[in-house]
Amino acid sequence: MNDKQRSVIGKLRIDILANDSHRNDGYEYKRFEVKEHSGFIEIISEVGLIDDENTLASVFARTRRQIFIGPRGGCRLAGTHVRGYRNVIIAIST
């Protein structure tokens, strides 16, 4: 993992939660995994309401993303043609 990728991961961690929670304090990360695959970084993120475990909100009200970050810091949302940092933040993959 290089410095550009580390920088993008830090920004994504902040911006995804801010976007998905609509800047509301009632949301948290349920999952934020970072994996490295031959020069590429894979991020799996899931944001949901605090204490929503074992409720319908845990099924229907969570946002999930799988994002790939290239060696130069470029972002792509898995399974779509969405590319670029801003577009990855706005788009939601479920």
How confident is the model at residue 90, as a pLDDT? Answer: 85
Going from N- to C-terminal start, the domains of the chain cover 3-90
How confident is the model at residue 92, as a pLDDT? Answer: 67
93 versus 87: the higher-pLDDT residue is 87
On the question of pLDDT at 22 being above 90, the answer is no
pTM score, two decimals?
0.86
On the question of pLDDT at 91 being above 50, the answer is yes
Q: 11: pLDDT confidence band, cut at 50, 70 and 90?
A: very high
Cα angle at 74 between 71 and 77, to 5 degrees?
115
How confident is the model at residue 94, as a pLDDT? Answer: 46
47-84 tens-digit pLDDT: 999 999 999 999 998 999 999 999 999 999 998 889 99
Measured distance CA(41)–CA(33) in Å, rounded: 10
- What mean pLDDT, rounded, does the chain reach? 92
